[in-house]
Amino acid sequence: MTRLPTVSDVATAAGVSRQTVSNVLNAPDVVRPETRERVLAAVSELGYRPHASARRLRTQQSSTIGIRLDPMTDGISGVVLDRFLHALTAQADALGLRVMLFTAAGPEEEIAQFRRLSDGADVDAFVLTSTFEGDPRTEWLIEHGQRFVTFGRPWGVDDMEDPQHLWVDVDGRAGLRAATRHLLDEGLRRIAYVGWPSPSGTGDDRHAGWRETMREAGLDDDELDALEARTPEGVPHGAEALRAVEAATGGAVEGVVCSSDSLALGALLAARGRYPVIGYDNTPVAASIGMSSVDQPLEQVATGVLELLTGAHGGRVRHDGEPVGDPRHRLLEPRLVPRELQVAPA
């Protein structure tokens, strides 16, 4: 496995700073012509390819993708990332790519792992999950010319169209819209929301899907404020949050949508079968007790991540020759899985 040239290699070869290399690649006008030419000569000589050029991983031998695996939890919704890892590994294997795991207790440790794994040339590209606003990991990877794709949007407004940050995500807002709409269509009106505290990219996005659908159905902000509860992840929190909403609304709740199956299971236990509860992530727990839930298309997420990583998206055009979608970002639609409840609280 040969190490791929990095921004640092180009900088050393051209006798300039990494920032200057970055400027040549991203904002060439700010660099003096002779410096620019020296840098471009080094780029050419070393065969360096910036991330956005979508160099095809699969043309290399033994290409390896690094991905963080968190310590095990007994959580319910945590299995989503495991399911994504299964899909990614199977699809990567079929492309001749390998998946290497590492752990990290936080963003700074994860960056230390990026450094170690890329310096050792053990890993050619990274897949990141659980992105958040101001994520220092993607900043580091861009600055160091490392190829990566995130499962999750950057969540910072300015970065959404960053051509150096390739991402695949699932449209959680659309998922909560579908769940809320499903209950409204059953003639229910006072639909509560139990979700994670703000700020949370994913949580706020799902919350917005519920809130805007409810507003379209004619509920006003005061009613909506009483119907929502924001609480940390976990079954007991879900139960507690729903009880708080019931207290705040005088027991007028007619249905609940949630930002996770963990919270939904807690809400379901608190609801005691009096009204429907819809979860998010379509976990085995939801399937096994017959709880409706929003399903993320994890096979498609894995396909998208690998296509962006290998540059396989490059040539996709419509029959009229127009490119299909944005080749740097992919926002996938989730799907509501409606079910009949198989159990009731004891």
Residues that bind a copy of itself (CB under 8 A): 62, 64, 69-72, 74-76, 79, 82-83, 85-87, 89-90, 93, 98-103, 120, 122, 235, 262, 265, 269, 273, 283-285, 287-290, 298, 341-346
Buried b (16+ CB within 10 A) or exposed e, 86-111: ebbbebbeebebbbeebebeebeebb
Provide Rg for the chain, Cα atoms: 23
With the CA atoms of 178, 183, 187 and 191 taken in that order, what torsion angle do they form, in degrees rounded to the nearest 10? -110
Residue with smaller CB distance to a copy of itself, 104 or 224: 104
């290699």: which residue's tokens? 9
């053990």: which residue's tokens? 122
Rounded to whole angstroms, what are the CA distances from 262 to 117, 233, 247, 277? Answer: 34, 7, 21, 12
CA distance 181 to 174: 10
The CB-of-110 to a copy of itself minimum distance in angstroms stands at 12
CA 324-326-332 angle, 5° bins: 90
The CB-of-134 to a copy of itself minimum distance in angstroms stands at 26
Residue with smaller CB distance to a copy of itself, 53 or 62: 62
CA distance 135 to 140: 9
Residue with smaller CB distance to a copy of itself, 6 or 77: 77
The CB-of-1 to a copy of itself minimum distance in angstroms stands at 8
DSSP class of residue 217 equals T
Residue with smaller CB distance to a copy of itself, 92 or 141: 92
Residue with smaller CB distance to a copy of itself, 214 or 309: 309
Residue with smaller CB distance to a copy of itself, 53 or 288: 288
The CB-of-151 to a copy of itself minimum distance in angstroms stands at 14
The CB-of-287 to a copy of itself minimum distance in angstroms stands at 6
Cβ contact 196:261 at 8 Å:
no
The helix or strand, by DSSP H or E, that contains position 54, with its residue range, turns out to be none
Q: How many CA atoms lie within 13 A of 75 on its CB side?
A: 20
The CB-of-298 to a copy of itself minimum distance in angstroms stands at 7
CB within 8 A of 172, min separation 6: which ones? 202, 205, 206, 209, 259, 280, 294, 334
Residue with smaller CB distance to a copy of itself, 149 or 269: 269
The CB-of-321 to a copy of itself minimum distance in angstroms stands at 36
Going by C-alpha positions, the residue among 310, 111, 336 that lies closest to residue 209 is 336
Residue with smaller CB distance to a copy of itself, 46 or 287: 287
CA distance 84 to 281: 12
Residue with smaller CB distance to a copy of itself, 7 or 85: 85
The CB-of-231 to a copy of itself minimum distance in angstroms stands at 17
The CB-of-10 to a copy of itself minimum distance in angstroms stands at 25
